Each structure stands twice: as structure tokens, then as C-alpha cells.
């Protein structure tokens, strides 16, 4: 059995249905969203307290669907940094300083900051006197699941970034692949931080390589989504995960070999 046949067999097993955005849908979106901006992305939430089920948006926003795993194609991903001057109080506030590439940030006064040298982005800057950072380093992942026309956003807290880095570095890029060329499964496992607070850590597994035909359909979709995904505003309620802060997160220097 060929590799392409194997890939198709696994896609069928997971009942993954790829639905490219047709020209008709593009025309409808362009006309109906005129003056309203881009179509908003739904956000999958990682639970607090070490829960093992994601909160996936359903038809009713007040009643999310519990899912123990996410299976789909990751069409885009990028780092984001955000800092709030005040502690999270349950409000849905935009950060006082934010970066959409993990390198350059803009604060509430419109001033540009270098994330690499910013004192708030150094370990030990935690306002509570801990070992963590005042700035929260996160990673956004856009996953296109079966039957979807646009992807859903999953925001990884600092404690899940190492898991993502290991997956994409060791299982994807060294194989000559892009994330949108494989079917990925995301699950959760329970961990505890240095203060004994339980939190949920994302775990990534490659399900199968997509066949060339699927890749040919996914590639232009992934490229078109990037124009929208890199400018979505951050809000505290979408990024807060209890127990999964910077404390206890081991920093890896950008020049360190990620495949060691």
C-alpha cells in the first residue's frame, strides 16, 4: 500500500472532511462582511485546574462543547507576547503591551518595544516576586478541523510551548514538512507548577501525512489565512489559564539547537 493510500485511509478513519472555501462562499463573505472587518475566529479554551477536556465553541456561545482531543490541520501558528499591568480579575481587557511576532511589541501609548531586551520579558520580572515574567509569552495555533471552512484558534500558554516546539521541530520540519501538510491531534495532560497548582498542558501527535492532493488544496488556504490571523486583538479572558504562567517554565535560548 502506498504512502498516499495510507494517508487517505487514516483521514477516512478519523472522518476528516476537507472543505475548501469555494468562490461562492468567498463572494458571500466579501459582500456581507463589508465594513465589518474579517470573519472572527472561534477560540478553543484550555481548561483551568488541570482539566482534560477542551472547551470548543458550539452553536450556542454560552454552551461550549467538551472535547478530549482536537484533530485537524494546523494552517498557521505564531508567537504572541502580552503584558497586563494589573492582575487578571475576570475582565476581558486588552493588554497594555502586545506583540504579534514575539519580537516587536507596541504598548498602549503606541510606542514600539524590543521584546528581547524589554525588562518585563525577562525571568524574575514577575510582579509577585516569582521567577516568571511580567510579560506572558504565548503561541497561537489555528487548526482547521473536519467540516470547517475557517480554522479555530487555540492559544497555548507558556507551559505548553515546549510541547509545541518539540512536536513541530522533531516531528514536522526535520521531515521536510509544513504543519499544514499533516493531520495533527491535540490532547491535554495534567501537570503541576512549582507552587503545586494543577494546570493542563497541550500534547501534540502526528496522525498522518496528508496526500499531495490534500496538500495542494490546503496550501493556498493556509497562505490566505495568514493575512487575517496575524492581527487579531488579544484579550485577557481568552489567554488566561490558571496555573500555567511563566513560573517554572524553562527558557530555551533562541540559538540553542531545538532538535537536541
Write out pLDDT tens, residues 192-202.
887 788 889 99
Vertex 67 angle, CA 61 and 73, to 5° = 95
Each residue's pLDDT tens digit, 106-124: 888 888 989 999 999 998 8
Q: pLDDT band for 255, please (50, 70, 90 cuts).
A: very low
Task: Please state the rounded mean pLDDT for residues 60-76.
Answer: 89
Among 155-159, 238-242, 251-255, the range scoring the smallest mean pLDDT is 251-255
pLDDT of 90: 57
Q: How far apart are CA 126 and CA 42, in angstroms?
A: 30
| 241, 207 contact by CB (below 8 A) | no
Report the pLDDT value the prediction gives residue 250, as an integer from 0 to 100: 34
**Position with higher pLDDT, 228 vs 146:** 146
Q: How far apart are the first and last CA of the chain?
A: 33
Residue 145: which of 200, 204, 186 has the closest Cα? 186
3-state class (DSSP) for residue 22: coil
Please give the Cα distance from 221 to 241 (Å, whole number): 30
Instruction: Say what the pLDDT of residue 231 is.
Output: 65
Decide: 43 and 238 in contact? Cβ < 8 Å. Answer: yes
Mean pLDDT of 183-211: 91
Please tell me the least confidently modeled range out of 11-15, 101-105, 220-224, 240-244. 240-244
Q: Give the distance, in angstroms, between the CA of residue 123 and the centroid of all CA atoms in the same chain.
A: 23
pLDDT for residue 185: 96
pLDDT band, residue 259 (cuts 50/70/90)? very low
The reported pLDDT for the residue numbered 257 is 33
User: What is the per-residue pLDDT for 89?
Assistant: 61
Task: Reply yes or no on whether the pLDDT at 80 is more than 70.
Answer: yes
142, 153 Cβ separation under 8 angstroms: yes
CA 111 to each of CA 5, 35, 108, 116: distance values in angstroms, whole numbers, following the listed order = 53, 28, 7, 15
pTM higher than 0.95 = no
- pLDDT tens per residue across span 12-52: 666 777 776 667 777 787 787 777 666 678 889 998 888 99
Mean pLDDT to the nearest integer, 235-245: 53
CA-CA distances (angstroms) from residue 164 to 15, 159, 201, 204? 24, 10, 10, 7
Q: Provide the 10 A C-beta neighbour count for residue 54.
A: 23
Q: How far apart are CA 247 and CA 3, in angstroms?
A: 43
Instruction: Summarize the confidence of residues 145-157 as an average pLDDT.
Output: 89
- Who wins on pLDDT, 125 or 204? 204
Instruction: Check if the beta carbon of residue 120 is closer than 8 Å to that of residue 134.
Output: yes
Give Cα separations from 189 to 8, 50, 69, 208 (angstroms).
Answer: 29, 7, 11, 22
Please check the confidence at residue 4 and state whether its pLDDT lies above 80: no
Amino acid at each position: 500500500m502506498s504512502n498516499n493510500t495510507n494517508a487517505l485511509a487514516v483521514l477516512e478513519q478519523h472522518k476528516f472532511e476537507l472543505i475548501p472555501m469555494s468562490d461562492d462562499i468567498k463572494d458571500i463573505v466579501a459582500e456581507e462582511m463589508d465594513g465589518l472587518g474579517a470573519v472572527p475566529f472561534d477560540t478553543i479554551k484550555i481548561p483551568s485546574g488541570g482539566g482534560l477536556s477542551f472547551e470548543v465553541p458550539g452553536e450556542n456561545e454560552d454552551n461550549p462543547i467538551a472535547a478530549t482531543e482536537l484533530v485537524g490541520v494546523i494552517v498557521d501558528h505564531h508567537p504572541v507576547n502580552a503584558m497586563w499591568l494589573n492582575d487578571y480579575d475576570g475582565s476581558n481587557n486588552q493588554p497594555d503591551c502586545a506583540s504579534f511576532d514575539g519580537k516587536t511589541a507596541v504598548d498602549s501609548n503606541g510606542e514600539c518595544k524590543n521584546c528581547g531586551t524589554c525588562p518585563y520579558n525577562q525571568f524574575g520580572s514577575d510582579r509577585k516576586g516569582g521567577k516568571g515574567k511580567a510579560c506572558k509569552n504565548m503561541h497561537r495555533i489555528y487548526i482547521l478541523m473536519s467540516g470547517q471552512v475557517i480554522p479555530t484558534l487555540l492559544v497555548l500558554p507558556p507551559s505548553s510551548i515546549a510541547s509545541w516546539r518539540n512536536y513541530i521541530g522533531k516531528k514536522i520540519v526535520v521531515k521536510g514538512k509544513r504543519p499544514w501538510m499533516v493531520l495533527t491531534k491535540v490532547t491535554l495532560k495534567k501537570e503541576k507548577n512549582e507552587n503545586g497548582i494543577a494546570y493542563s498542558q497541550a500534547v501534540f501527535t502526528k496522525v498522518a501525512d496528508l496526500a499531495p492532493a490534500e496538500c495542494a488544496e490546503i496550501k493556498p488556504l493556509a497562505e490566505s489565512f495568514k493575512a487575517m490571523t496575524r492581527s487579531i486583538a488579544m484579550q485577557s479572558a481568552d489567554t488566561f489559564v490558571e496555573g500555567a504562567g511563566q513560573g517554572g517554565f524553562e527558557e530555551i535560548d533562541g540559538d540553542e539547537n531545538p532538535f537536541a
